[in-house]
Amino acid sequence: MQMRINRVSLMLRGRPVLHDLSATLQPGRVTVILGANGAGKSTLLSCLAGLRVPDRGTVLLGEQPVPGMDPRVRGRQIGLMPQRAEIHWDVDVETLVGLGRMPHRGRWGLTEGDRAAISSAMAATDVTALRQRKALRLSGGEQGRVLLARVLAGEPHWLLADEPLASLDPAHQLDVLDRLRDAARGGAGVVVVLHDLTHAARVADEALVLKQGHLLAAGPAANVLTPEVLAQAYGVEVHLARTADGAPIIVPVRRIA
């Protein structure tokens, strides 16, 4: 099922934040949302998750408008990893990851299916060794992986992540990018807000570039992640390169006057 953004506009506190955005997102592909600070990336992600209702236009999952969906059904289909990591109680990692099964759970305890999903989510993010540890005592990076595991445990059809690489060390950043790609390969649609251009280039199949709430460019990553578009989006001159084995590198060089 596709996700379609249909002429979405949104005002927040009297200011226009999103202008008449339209795009189509395909399942099984990783779409990266890029843009300068304040361009509207997180707001757009909230609209995709059904947490904000656009003033004009709508977001459709298949044929269904996302805001109108039954919240539980929506919770099963769409998983969101918010930007701010919040853990309010001193629970252990396994319990925290288990919270991701909430949209699926019946009246009583965890089923075999629930337990399997939790285990595989923990394995995928390499936190199985931490399962008995208290989540609040973990390092920032470990917490980040645990919170991603929570979203994965819900086995969503659409995985939305808002800057999931913050506070991760390079090894784990690459791991998370790999997990996102695995999720897409498994059939889920993945939409990620990233601010590092090299990471974006590494993981993106498609890209949406926002500038001040307008859609600057949309399409396959190779077409969008070009110096011209990025100069317009960020106001910087970038240098594109490739490593010896073909991995892309995008480096900002200098501000454009």
Partner 1 sequence: MNNAQRNGLLAAVLLLAMLASLLAGPVWVSPSDWGAGGLKAIILFELRLPRAILGAAIGAGLGLAGAVMQGFLRNPLADPGLFGVSSSAALGAVISLYFGFAASALLLPLFALAGAALGMAALSLLVGRSESLILFTLAGLILASLSGSLTALMISLAPTPFATAQIVNWLMGALTDRSWADVQLVVPLIVLGAIILAGTARPLDSLTLGETAARSMGVDLGRLQWRVVIGVGLLVGASVAAAGIIGFVGLIVPHLVRPLVGHRPGAVLLPSALAGALLVVLADSLVRVLPTTSELRLGIAMSLLGTPFFLALLVRMRRELT
Partner 2 sequence: MGLRPSNACAPAARPPTQRARTLRRVAPLLAGLLCAGVLAGCNQRQPAPAPLPDHPRRIVSMNPCADALLQPLADPARIAGISHYSQDPRASSVSLEWAQRFTATAGTAEEVIGLSPDLVIAGPHVALPTVEALARLGIPLLQLPVANSVEESLVQVTLVGAALGEQARAQALAAEIRAAVAAAAPADTARPSALVWQGGGLVPGEGTLVDDLMTRAGLSNLSRRHGLAIWGVLGLERLIASPPELLLAGEGGDSPDRMLQHPATARLADAVTTGSYPGQLLHCAGPTIIAASARLAEARASLRP
Residues making contact with partner 1 (CB under 8 A): 49-51, 70-76, 78-82, 84, 86-92, 95-96, 99-100, 102-103, 105, 147, 150, 154
Q: Could you say which of partner 2, partner 1, none residue 100 binds, taking C-beta under 5 to 8 angstroms by partner kind?
A: partner 1
Q: How far is the CB of 210 from partner 2 (least distance, A)?
A: 18
8 A C-beta contact, residue 174 and residue 130: no
Nearer to partner 2, 12 or 99 (CB): 12
Nearer to partner 2, 55 or 182 (CB): 55
Q: How far is the CB of 116 from partner 1 (least distance, A)?
A: 19
Count, residues near partner 2 per rule CB under 8 A: 8
DSSP states of 48-115 as a string?
HHTSS--SEEEEEETTEEGGGS-HHHHHHHEEEE-SS----S--BHHHHHHGGGGGG--SSS--HHHH
8 A C-beta contact, residue 38 and residue 45: no
CB atoms within 10 A of CB 110: 15
Q: Could you say which of partner 2, partner 1, none residue 52 binds, taking C-beta under 5 to 8 angstroms by partner kind?
A: partner 2
Verify binding: residue 52, partner 2, rule CB under 8 A: yes
Nearer to partner 1, 71 or 246 (CB): 71
Q: Could you say which of partner 2, partner 1, none residue 247 binds, taking C-beta under 5 to 8 angstroms by partner kind?
A: none
Residue 13's region, left for phi above 0, alpha for psi from -120 to 50, else beta, is: left
Identify which of 173, 183, 164 has the alpha carbon closest to the alpha carbon of residue 29: 183
Q: 27 to 46, contacts with partner 2 by CB under 8 A?
A: none
Q: In what order do the strands lie in the sheet with 30-35?
A: 78-81, 158-162, 189-193, 30-35, 206-211, 214-220
Q: Could you say which of partner 1, partner 2, none residue 88 binds, taking C-beta under 5 to 8 angstroms by partner kind?
A: partner 1
Q: Could you say which of partner 2, partner 1, none residue 15 binds, taking C-beta under 5 to 8 angstroms by partner kind?
A: none
Nearer to partner 1, 147 or 209 (CB): 147
8 A C-beta contact, residue 235 and residue 255: yes
8 A C-beta contact, residue 189 and residue 25: yes
Q: Could you say which of partner 2, partner 1, none residue 231 binds, taking C-beta under 5 to 8 angstroms by partner kind?
A: none
Token pair of 173, please? 């950043």
Among the listed ranges 4-12, 161-169, 208-216, 246-254, the one in contact with partner 2 (CB under 8 A) is 4-12
Nearer to partner 2, 53 or 85 (CB): 53
Considering only 7, 55, 242, 256, the residue that binds partner 2 (CB under 8 A) is 55
Q: Where does 129-169 have alpha helices with state H?
A: 140-153
The residues of the shown chain that bind partner 2, judged by CB under 8 A, are: 10-13, 52-53, 55-56
